[in-house]
Structure 1
């Protein structure tokens, strides 16, 4: 699926001379149209990856198979995706390894799930939990489109993590947990029960309020190492002769990452020798209070039901197009090479 000449059913990314990207799925007899002309799919089928095809108007298009990062940014989405810069750090700093048992909540559009599935491989397990059925359907369809079939390591459960996780796994059987949700602090008890001693919990949150609340809740609960938190900013560079400078636009704040490790049973805390900063818990400090959070509270843009239904249809159509590849096609042999 990732090597050899282009074949029907392959996704191909076309780049024009101005750097604009267009992703198409190859079908015999079809054409890709722009306002100036078209490119015939038949001119790409059988051509090698990294070829250049000429538009009927004379414009050259570079044709490449999309990388995972390209697919994530162009796939149908019902919820905000975890961007590649954060997904890469989650896989690395949570130490997601082949054969691991990983729990993920929530799934959203499945962007992070794709990176986690690649990391655990066919022999691992990724148990994903999502509260919304429409988001879960979009995520399943996106994964089928990318891998070309159902990934054998993946299961998606629609429901609340706190209620569903104890029914899905036994105590101390999960290696890693990834939480991308509004209130991860509500899940610390059930996650702590499921993790093996030394297991890693990594949380992806959008605001400093969430970041602080996760850290303080874990400290009060005990049984966790000291939380470690950070964010990453990615700035591209313009490279042209002697004109080497930072790009005017950059990928700024997307979210914070926080990691904890589970202590052995009976170990409540590892005492800190470093004192808190002066005033950290002074008169202005407000202890955690119980309250309901919503996506709107964090400034997240919500999508209308009509738009979500259209996204579900688009994701399902892309997956069905990939499903239409004949059963004896060599691209259906395994998913680890995707």
Structure 2
């Protein structure tokens, strides 16, 4: 591991100033992803700026009735918070589906959104990877790719985003806010992650030195009846091979509102907007749920060894929506 300087930030302005003065520095929250990448040489910062003491560890309501989540709130605190469990249960379920209890106690909301792909070619510095070394190639396309992207990929990268939390936040129109030396800015989470295209090393819209300060969830009545379902290759402590965050509002057998996002299928959490449009106004039946899922997944371009994901996600969407519809009709 490269030697590095360590600084503890006392306030947001000071933290931003430290990175503005040193583009080779990184913010340190829980470190559950960054430190691993430093150990294997993927990340080599000259300085770590510890932000755990900043006043960004609160969850509360904002003036519009939405929920504001500080960037250094731990995953464990997020999942346990009464506002989250009551208003956005799928988010609490998504957080609890990720990692282990020990890691959730350390990991932060901001760090979770910025975690890097777990593609084996990315984490192995002896292999080429366009995300790590632009222009070097993507060996996953011809190599090991059974858990790689089926939506939104390109010939330059087929890695998937690993976040469970991000999938649920995407379904509920979360907005990410940050600070730089030039001031504050924000973006909807659906726009926060950049398409792969020919620049897979550019993953978010964050400008250099930006510090995520909080995430805001707008009020959404439909989110109170929501669910997150994750499929993985072993029962715990494993990344998803497919996941769904869904919410459904049904009145007299007809879908009045629907939210749907998919995980482990693309380089970012995938908001299933086409499926949502098909669902609203349609009968709340498994038949129509399948129609919506098929329409969304028609854009899938699986590789030779990950085509199973299309069937898996279709069945997962239908199962979760059916369960939610049955609960609504009780």
- TM category, shorter: under 0.3
Larger Rg: 1
